Amino acid sequence: MSNDKRLALVTGGTGGLGQAICTRLSSDGFAVVALHTPGNARVGDWLAEREREGHAFAAEAVDVGDFEDCARVVEKIRRLYGPVAVLVNNAGITQDASFRKMSAAQWRQVLRVNLDSMFNMTKPVIEDMLAAGWGRVVNISSVNGQRGAFGQANYAASKAGVHGFTKSLAIEFASKGITVNTVSPGYLRTAMVEKVPDEILRSRILPQIPSGRLGEPEEVARLVAYLVSDGGGYVNGANLAINGGQHMA
């Protein structure tokens, strides 16, 4: 992986959306490090598959809910590959349950991975961006952070919090050449959505989407690629919906 290119980190980088983002950024000339959950046994195969496709990624394990572990992995990446120019905070989980049945552990774990990770990962990389006078942070939220969803009080709260974080950082760092934006996808054709029973998908979810289909991860990746480009430098503090018209704020 070339040290001459701008370096992009993507959390949740080996998942469906993360892979699409990593691939697009690599195609656009970034050096890419995909961050993944510790203990992910398929990372070696994943890297080999991407290399066969022409993308020489690096990959590092990190617990995005742990501040010290995030600081550790960023320092390691900085030592190996150089300063970080782009951060895509994409890692996220669901632990769905109706509010009456939701446990405190389910609440805490979703907030830890989906929202605490925003602080944990952005804090150690922001100094690189300040030193360079250029940086891009893209935080992946969700349509359900905008509209809520039955059984997702934890997930919707975490994803709504993402944009408050975005807006505050955009104000703080706009004059330093750093942009911070939120992207809020709707239902995408990823492994997470493919776990939804087909009957529920056809009877409940697709009828809510005016476009009549699931989104493709590559469509979201193209939007992220624009935001992290030089040409996207005047977009700052925005929450960009990409949901097929399912929710219009």
pLDDT digits (tens, 9 = 90+) for 154-213: 999 999 999 999 999 999 999 999 999 999 999 999 887 777 788 888 888 899 999 999
Taking residue 149's Cβ as centre, other Cβ atoms within 10 Å add up to: 15
10 Å CB burial of residue 218 (0-12, 13-18, 19+) is middle
Catalytic residue (choose from 155, 187, 226, 234):
155
Whole-number Cα distances in Å, 191 to 85, 134, 162, 196:
29, 34, 22, 9
187 catalytic? Reply is: no
* pTM for this predicted structure: 0.95
Name the nearest CA neighbour of 187 among 165, 219, 151, 150: 219
Query: Could you give the residue ranges of the DSSP H alpha helices within the chain?
Result: 16-27, 43-52, 67-81, 104-111, 117-132, 143-147, 153-173, 191-194, 198-200, 217-227
pLDDT tens-digit readout, 17-55: 999 999 999 999 999 999 999 999 999 999 999 999 999
Q: Which CATH number fits domain 7-241: 1.10.30.50, 3.40.50.720, 1.10.490.10, 3.40.50.1580?
A: 3.40.50.720
